[in-house]
């Protein structure tokens, strides 16, 4: 086991950390940690939502977008895997950013750590709210419930349904998440394999250029890449579980790499099946035009109805299981970051209370309340609809997450050179984080490049509002509680 570094944290900060509330150590094995991460990725929901716009840009080359995005995500996964080996913590990105920049300046590390925490506190429930909106609209459409608020009632019901599982502890919620992920992954795999077998005459379609605007790999240079990267959001879900993991320094890095790799395989297989299926069904040119049409609401459901009609009803259940598993896993994982921030002084102390089972019950309540709020408020806007709400919330919530990813990548070489030079590896600790930063910045640019829809202005005003609120909140916290400079990032899993 790698020894913990003494720098940049002071010994008094470490000593005081020992008296703070703690979570249940050893509640999760490697299998449980991996299950939560995979469910958080929600492969069926992700590919269902992203395949049409990606195919619209790249045509038959769409599967390659997900293969390239998997490699790009692994560069950021490498950063958190390294940090998990030396700084395992329920604080996740907050801990690594505050310690990484804290090597040079403890105050700078505290400021950036606080800023990252408040960004995560606001943006993460937005992304999960988008998942809830998708789940509600998907189930309402599946059962033809046409009442205006049917989707909202379904979504709020899902939040209420997962609460008892999350409040019983990470062990139970990870087992439930595993069941939902198995349904999710098995359903997507069966559908993909069935389509590939029945449409095998066009198996090579993704190796040629059909359709798309501009089409081919040229279509990757834009929003298609950003959407493919978005499909992997959730890979970091295992990091906040470090305190409850039996062997966090070993298990968290394995879970990160394995989850990204398995999700990548599922995405590529699903996208390949979609391209092959539509090409064989309607011909390569017309088929890819249909797959990439913005009016194609449920391409995988259409594929099931054509190739595997007996499986079409199950596809609807698979989509619901995927979103529900994501909701369960996300609340379990992200509430740990809220809990850790509270015990380090970034929220009122009552938010860090734990139950007799050492479950962060108040942090869970705060996180779920924010998620529900972000579902209800947009639903009350005039002429709102679940599709528009999902698209806007997913984008607004994801953008600050990508900024936090960038900060973590910058923090890695700073930390390794400043605190663990004996372990420094130029490829893993400098080149890969630099490559990750470049890819993430390009993904952010894809959302702001010229020619965005009119809603782009609203999108960026909301993102700037999140940044402004987080910045003001950071300033107020550090001004009122100067001790937070030493406390942020001080509580490690072991």
CATH number, position 176: 1.20.1740.10
pLDDT bucket at 263, cuts 50 / 70 / 90 = very high
Q: Indicate whether 19 belongs to any domain.
A: no
Q: Domain for residue 1, yes or no? A: no
Q: Tell me the per-residue pLDDT of 465-479, one tens digit each, with 9 for 90 and over.
A: 999 999 999 999 999
Q: What is the pLDDT of residues 285-321, one digit of tens each?
A: 999 999 999 888 789 999 999 999 999 889 999 999 9
Tell me the HSE value of 451 on the side-chain side, using a 13 A CA sphere. Answer: 5
Rounded to 10°, the helix 312-343/93-102 angle is 40
The model's pLDDT over 336-346, given as tens digits with 9 standing for 90+, comes to 999 999 999 99
CA quadruple 410, 411, 413, 418: dihedral positive or negative?
Answer: positive
Domain count, the chain: 1
Instruction: Read off the pTM.
Output: 0.91
Note whether residue 61 is domain-resident: yes
Q: What is the 3-state secondary structure (H, E, C) of 277-343?
A: HHHHHHCHHHHHHHHCCCCCCCHHHHHHHHHCHHHHHHHHHHHHHHHHHHHHHHHHHHHHHHHHHHH
15, part of any domain:
no
Q: Is 493 domain-assigned?
A: no
Q: Is residue 224 part of a domain?
A: yes
Whole-angstrom distance, CA of residue 185 vs CA of residue 202: 24
| CB neighbour class for 376 (10 Å; exposed up to 12, middle 13-18, buried from 19) | middle
What are the tens digits of pLDDT across the range 131-148? 999 999 999 988 888 888
Res 451: pLDDT: 58
Whether 17 is covered by a domain: the verdict is no
CB 343 within 8 A of CB 21: yes
d(CA 454, CA 73): 29
pLDDT band at 387 (very low <50, low <70, confident <90, very high): confident
For residue 492, tell me if it sits in a domain: no
Residues 6 or more apart whose Cβ sits within 8 Å of residue 260: 70, 73, 74, 77, 232, 235
Q: Which domain holds residue 413?
A: 26-487
Residue length of the chain: 494
The string of pLDDT tens digits covering residues 80-122 is 999 999 999 999 999 999 999 999 899 999 999 999 999 999 9
- pLDDT, position 398: 87
Q: How far is CA 10 from the centre of its chain?
A: 32
Q: In Å, how far from its chain's centre is CA 417?
A: 29
């Amino acid at each position: 086991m790698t020894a913990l570094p003494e720098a940049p944290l002071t010994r008094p900060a470490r000593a005081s950390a020992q008296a703070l509330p703690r979570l249940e150590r050893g509640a999760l094995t490697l299998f449980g940690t991996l299950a939560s991460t995979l469910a958080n990725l929600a492969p069926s929901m992700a590919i269902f939502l992203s395949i049409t716009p990606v195919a619209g840009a790249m045509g038959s080359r769409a599967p390659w977008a997900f293969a390239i995005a998997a490699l790009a995500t692994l560069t950021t996964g490498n950063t958190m895997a390294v940090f998990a080996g030396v700084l395992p913590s329920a604080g996740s990105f907050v801990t690594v950013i505050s310690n990484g920049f804290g090597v040079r300046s403890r105050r700078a590390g505290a400021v950036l750590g606080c800023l990252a925490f408040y960004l995560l506190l606001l943006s993460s429930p937005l992304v999960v709210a988008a998942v809830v909106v998708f789940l509600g609209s998907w189930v309402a459409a599946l059962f033809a419930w046409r009442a205006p608020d049917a989707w909202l009632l379904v979504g709020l019901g899902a939040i209420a349904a997962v609460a008892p599982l999350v409040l019983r502890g990470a062990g139970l919620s990870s087992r439930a998440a595993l069941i939902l992920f198995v349904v999710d992954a098995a359903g997507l795999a069966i559908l993909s394999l069935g389509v590939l077998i029945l449409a095998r005459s066009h198996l090579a379609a993704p190796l040629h250029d059909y359709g798309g605007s501009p089409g081919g790999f040229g279509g990757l240079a834009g929003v298609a890449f950003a959407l493919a990267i978005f499909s992997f959001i959730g890979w970091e879900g295992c990091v906040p579980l470090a305190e409850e993991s039996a062997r966090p320094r070993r298990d968290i890095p394995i879970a990160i790499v394995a989850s990204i790799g398995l999700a990548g395989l599922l995405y590529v297989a699903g996208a390949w099946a979609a391209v092959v299926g539509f090409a064989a069904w309607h011909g390569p040119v017309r088929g890819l035009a249909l797959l990439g049409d913005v009016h194609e609401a449920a391409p995988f459901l259409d594929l099931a109805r054509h190739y595997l009609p007996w499986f079409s009803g199950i596809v609807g259940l698979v989509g619901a299981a995927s979103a529900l598993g994501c909701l369960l896993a996300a609340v379990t994982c992200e509430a740990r970051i809220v809990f850790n921030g509270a015990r380090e002084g970034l929220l009122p102390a009552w938010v860090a209370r734990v139950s007799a089972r050492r479950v962060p019950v108040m942090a869970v309540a705060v996180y779920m309340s924010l998620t529900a709020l972000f579902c209800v408020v947009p639903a009350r806007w005039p002429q709102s609809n679940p599709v528009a709400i999902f698209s806007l919330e997913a984008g607004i919530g994801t953008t600050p997450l990508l900024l936090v990813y960038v900060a973590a990548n910058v923090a890695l070489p700073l930390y390794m050179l400043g605190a663990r030079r004996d372990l420094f590896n130029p490829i893993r600790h400098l080149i890969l984080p630099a490559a990750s930063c470049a890819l993430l910045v390009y993904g952010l640019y894809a959302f702001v490049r010229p020619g965005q829809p009119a809603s782009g202005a609203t999108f960026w005003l909301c993102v700037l509002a999140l940044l402004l609120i987080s910045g003001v909140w950071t300033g107020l916290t550090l001004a009122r509680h100067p001790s937070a400079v030493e406390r942020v990032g001080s509580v490690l899993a072991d």
